[in-house]
Structure 1
Amino acid sequence: MCTRVGPWRAESTAVLPAPPLVNGPPPRRDPARSRRHPAGSLGFAARGTAGRKRRAQSVIVEGSVSLATRNESCPVKFESQIHGEIFRIKSNQLTNCKNHILEFKENILHLQNKSKSTREELTKAFNALQYEVMQRENQSRNLDEEKLDTVSEGETASNIFEDFKFFLPHLKKVKRVYPKVIISQGKTGVSFAVGIPTVSRGNHTYLKQTLNSIVTRVTPQEEEDSVVIVSVADSNEDYVKSVVDMVKQRFKRQVKSGSLEVISVPDFFYPSILYEEPADDSQRTKRWRMKQVLDFSVLMAYAYPKATYYLQLEDDIIAKEMYFTKLTEFVRNMTSNNWFSIQFSVLGFIGKLFKSKDLPEFVNFFLMFYKERPIDLLLDQIFHIKMCDVEEAPEKCLKREEEIRIQYKPSLFQHVGLHSSLPGREQRLKKI
């Protein structure tokens, strides 16, 4: 440390005063002593005075040198202190900077680990999806090899039925999702498949006259290039048996040629809510509509691999004369193939023709919203969703929709059923 020079340290730095010199006449000396030391006394005194002067000067010089030395060394020490303080501050700043860098590095590592974990989860999910797809493909590939009791020899398996498990979770416990094939020769590779779902209407039935108009008003060539599929969507075994017996007795030739098939929908297809007792008529109607969507979806899925086109009918209609000739000519004379549906009737879901390759998309949409809307409204909505942009004017969308939903006139099918498949309800809409 540098020694501070000031009044409070004067005793350590001030020049020591010389002893005072005696002014005035010298003191009297004893003559006797003077005689004994005639020159010694004066010489001694002189030497003593000179010694004191030299010591005083020495003290003055040493004090000056010491003070000078201290005053010269003070800035050096102060500068050293400043440099030391600066070094300490910089060291602290460097330490803080290092700490921030380490903290930032830890955050980066944490984010990298989190990102890696997310990527791993996504990879696992994707691998699981791929595995599920592979399993589904393997199962569908082995359908014909399994030879289950409900599968006839000529049946063509459809992968689309595996998609039912995604929308109807209760089917995941079912080993194989497929309708029961009762009458079939396994006919495939035709131009048209005609689907007719049927359920019991109590003491009233229209299925016989419907089938009679459908299978008899075609030429032999048209019959050979088509297949009619009757799907019995009823758990009443007596009704199933009555339909099978009627078909075998009245349409032997069509059954033998494979142009007429009969399948039934097993009870396991339907969710448990459809077997619960409805609280009121509103719930009863809603559940009837839900079941109708599922019935149509099963029939579409079964018909999907059989033909190029699929025609949807119901079990209480009558086909007009030469209906099939007019239908096939109209389709083959289409100048554009950019259509989704041709409507040969304006009533409900009757007389709607689709490309078979589009059926899986329709079925998935129907299964997704089977609890929300009736089947005919779902058909309207899927066209609207696929073809209409959110921000475009409704008029523009409607015009485009008319281009892909083609209306054939006059209608080729007449609705005749008075008693609906919904118990207690009458259907008086007959005009096409």
Structure 2
Amino acid sequence: MRLTIFADETGGTDETGGTGGTDETGGTDETGGADETGGTDDACACDYDDGSSDVFLTIGIPTMKRPNQTYLWMCLDSLFSNSDETDKNDMVIVILLSDPDPAFRENVTANISARYKPHLNSGLVQVIQVAPNYYPDLMRLARTYSQPLIRVRWRSKQNIDYAFLMKYSVNISRYYLQLEDDVTTVPGFLHKIKATVAPVERFASLAFSSLGFIGKLFHNSDLYKLADLTDGVLRGTSK
């Protein structure tokens, strides 16, 4: 099922789509700052229940340094401007600083704090980051789809970033939505998502965009399993 409510602002999908992969995660961010986690499965050893949270939706957004452009502010401004106060009380936005450059992370964290301090204080926005040694060795990957190795490494890291976000987000809300930092929303997007989900009793995922993995919605109860599967594949420990 697809309902397009997100638009790619870069003019293409090559660098923003990705695949339905996933990986590992750590703790929680209670300060509104960047929580650097490198946790293991034990950090998310919990029960998974779609009905355990009063919050409807968690939105996961990884962000990396891009040449001559920062899309994150456009994405966040779109989310906030297209949501009313009731919507904001029914969702959590988790931003993953996935670029290894410490200066980039510090700059983005400072800008988020300056631009969106009320949303940080309310818990609407949470910021996390990954310890560089958390990633597996991405230099020994087999080529897939005849792509160059640099592209294979990029996609594999992207999958790990998605998975890290998913495992961090377990039990925050009833549903999880994957976004990228270069997309924008339409007015009332949360109402449209709720209207789509309401009549659907069972689903593995719902697609709210045609842009690769962007706009894919999952049950909270499936997040950890989905993330763990891809983590095992990338680390060579899948069962």
**Is 1:361 the counterpart of 2:225 in the alignment?**
yes
Query: Which residue in 2 is equivalent to 1:219?
Result: 84
Residues 1:208 and 1:275: Cα distance change in structure 2 (over 3 Å): farther
Following superposition, the deviation at residue 222 of structure 1 comes to 1.0
Query: Which residue in 1 is equivalent to 2:188?
Result: 322
Contact 2:55 2:90 in 1 (8 A): yes
Query: Which residue in 1 is equivalent to 2:167?
Result: 301
Following superposition, the deviation at residue 360 of structure 1 comes to 1.5
**Is 1:244 the counterpart of 2:117 in the alignment?**
no
State the Cα RMSD in Å. 2.7
CA distance in 1, matches of 2:83, 2:205: 22
CA distance in 1, matches of 2:103, 2:140: 19
SS of 1:369's equivalent in the other structure is: helix
Runs of 4+ in 1 over 3 A off after TM superposition: 150-155, 272-276
Query: Which residue in 2 is equivalent to 1:338?
Result: 202
Following superposition, the deviation at residue 216 of structure 1 comes to 2.1
- Which residue identity is paired with 2:92? V
Q: Match for 1:257 among 100, 122, 127? A: 122
Residues 1:258 and 1:346: Cα distance change in structure 2 (over 3 Å): same
Greater helix share, structure number:
1
- Which residue identity is paired with 2:202? N
Following superposition, the deviation at residue 352 of structure 1 comes to 0.5
CA distance in 1, matches of 2:188, 2:28: 34
Following superposition, the deviation at residue 189 of structure 1 comes to 4.2
**Is 1:290 the counterpart of 2:156 in the alignment?**
yes
Query: Which residue in 1 is equivalent to 2:23?
Result: none
CA distance in 1, matches of 2:170, 2:28: 16
Following superposition, the deviation at residue 284 of structure 1 comes to 1.0
SS of 2:148's equivalent in the other structure is: helix
CA distance in 1, matches of 2:164, 2:214: 17
SS of 2:40's equivalent in the other structure is: helix
CA distance in 1, matches of 2:115, 2:75: 12
Residues 1:223 and 1:274: Cα distance change in structure 2 (over 3 Å): farther
Equivalent runs, 1:116-265 vs 2, <5 Å: 152-153=29-30, 162-163=40-41, 189-265=54-130
SS of 2:100's equivalent in the other structure is: coil
In our comparison, the structure showing a higher alpha carbon Rg is 1
Q: Which has the higher contact order (CA 8 A, sep 6+)?
A: 2
SS of 1:272's equivalent in the other structure is: coil
CA distance in 1, matches of 2:224, 2:133: 21
SS of 1:315's equivalent in the other structure is: coil
Task: Name the TM-score, length of structure 1 as normaliser.
Answer: 0.41
Task: Name the TM-score, length of structure 2 as normaliser.
Answer: 0.73
Contact 1:218 1:325 in 2 (8 A): no
CA distance in 2, matches of 1:199, 1:271: 18
- Which residue identity is paired with 1:284? I
Cα shift readout 1:279-298 (whole Å, capped 9, x = no counterpart): xx811111111111111000
CA distance in 1, matches of 2:196, 2:29: 34
How many residues end up aligned between the 2 structures? 192
CA distance in 2, matches of 1:241, 1:357: 33
Segments of 5+ residues of structure 2 without an aligned counterpart are 1-25, 33-38, 45-52, 142-146
SS of 1:307's equivalent in the other structure is: coil
Following superposition, the deviation at residue 356 of structure 1 comes to 0.7
Moved more, 248-257 or 190-199: 248-257
Residues 1:253 and 1:274: Cα distance change in structure 2 (over 3 Å): farther
Residues 1:349 and 1:330: Cα distance change in structure 2 (over 3 Å): same
Cα shift readout 1:272-322 (whole Å, capped 9, x = no counterpart): 34599xxxx811111111111111000000011201000110011011121
Segments of 5+ residues of structure 1 without an aligned counterpart are 1-142, 144-149, 156-160, 164-175, 179-187, 373-432
